[in-house]
A and B are shown apart, each in its own frame.
Chain A
Amino acid sequence: MTETDKTVKTHKTPEAEDRVKIKARRVNVFYGAAQALFDIDLDMRLNQVTALIGPSGCGKSTFLRCLNRMNDVIDGCRVEGDIYMDNQNVYDETLDVVELRARIGMVFQKPNPFPKSIYDNVAYGPRIHGMTQNKEQLDHIVKKSLRRAGLWDEVKDRLSDTGSGLSGGQQQRLCIARAIAVNPEVLLMDEPCSALDPVATAVIENLIHELRQRYTIVIVTHSMHQAARVSQKTAYFHLGELIEYGDTSDIFTRPQHEQTEAYISGKIG
């Protein structure tokens, strides 16, 4: 890629529609001696939602965690291969991991709010990145993020209550609000709706649609319907291998592989 590619970043042009934001090449991941991912090549495009699907334990979360180097903190986890974001190698020695993680937001599979107040949960990211000058701006970000995550109405009267006192589904939405509060370029969502009722799920799916206009989104989901609803591209993983990748409409209507077909039609997984 060339210089011009980088300058496109902030301007949305028609060509940018298909521009690759994150590019994974020959990614292998090992937990100790056990290999969890085998030679994954995958492109994730700007303004698109890429859905990762596959049976439990096939390595979806592992792949997602490679993208913002969350696997670094797991003892015994080793990542081989290259991952590029905007042509920059994410695993480059000189890259600042902290900055990378600020640019790539993540919603974890298990809701993990800080044992602090709801307000502080959302305000933490903007605070440490110095995104606001005063309390009003911070209040505004907190309110906006909670509203977009569909949680504002439920918590607006108890922002100082502790975040871990919320229900499972509320915690999940709190974590989404926390992730979008820092305004990341890429959002990684690991089963963000697993504990949500249909109404809340619809709110989050709308949010995903909205965020897609500006960001790159990678979402892991066990719901075929959700993958079909929110994503443009779908990748099917099986036992650590990427079996099939393509436009979501293609994958769900005419899968190329038997395994994929079996999975999406509910025969395995």
Chain B
Amino acid sequence: MTPMAVRTREGSTPDNANEVARSSGPRHDALGLSLDDVKRMYRLMLMTRLVSERILQLNRMGRTPFGAGTDGHEAAQIGAAWCIRPGKDWTVPYYRDMGVSFVLGFTALDEFRAVLGKATDTNSAGRAMLNMFSSPERRVLSRSVLVGTEFPHAVGLALALRNRKEDKCVVFAFGGEASTSPGDFHEAANFASIHKLPVVFVIENNLLAISTRFEKQMAVANVADRAAAYAMPGHIADGMDVLDSYEKTRLAADHARAGKGPALVELKCYRYQPHTSDDDDSRYRTKQEVEEWKARDPVKRGREYLLGAGASEPDLEAIRVELANEIEKAIAQAESEPDPRPEDALTHVYAEGTPRPDGTRA
């Protein structure tokens, strides 16, 4: 499948990738975003790109054990996550969602602590693989490395929100296209739909699950086609465009917020890097395919959009320099911090302490 030939289906939201590229200026206005919002979106896209590149560089230098690149997913992640209301909505990100975490307030330092498995890692104190985000304060549910297994958790969360009458709050459940293959996804979607639970399924379709191509992952033409089976809306966005990703995710989120039940949005994007630092992608794709997608690079497009809308080159350069400094500082800081202690390896197997009346523990 070539990048330009995004497959559509009858009745689906028309793909307007090219329209976005053509029009400039007022498009964010129409979406209710200020130019400053778009600048902040761009900043987070660039931050995601730069952090991802540094993780993989450090891995090749033997300074990190493992990496999983985000490159190519920035617009999908930042655009979709822009719909999340921090502290109100819950998020269940997946392992490629570094950009989502940055929108939710995670920092480069948080990321490098986790990548390096430091005791100071706020997700897991150095116990988890990278990008296993967890933050009760930010309403980010700790997730699973087993693909698709957290969709039912998202449904349970939505159930809890309903029962607690947090009526306008929704759950954003992220995954790659292949996460919609296991039964977990289908059981979750069916359950949520029957009970009209506010779950937004955000699916980043990068066409590949390690080596397995989209066509061998599902027989439908779009992930969004699956939504019909559960009587929920399924939107398709150009996941290489941050505004389109935002707009289509908004449609899904508004549906869930209005109490109409779950909705799905499919963000069509592409992964530039190998699946992880352990993967050799030359076994299953050509360099040319990667280059074709890079021609629509979301970070580059974000930059062009901003320049067209009145931002200046020095403005954008200042953002880059500031980010680069922040990232280098974060790496140095994280590398200087202690590793987990062996004697702590067996803590937290069971809940410890006595419950207090408010449910917290001594």
Chains A and B belong together in one complex: no
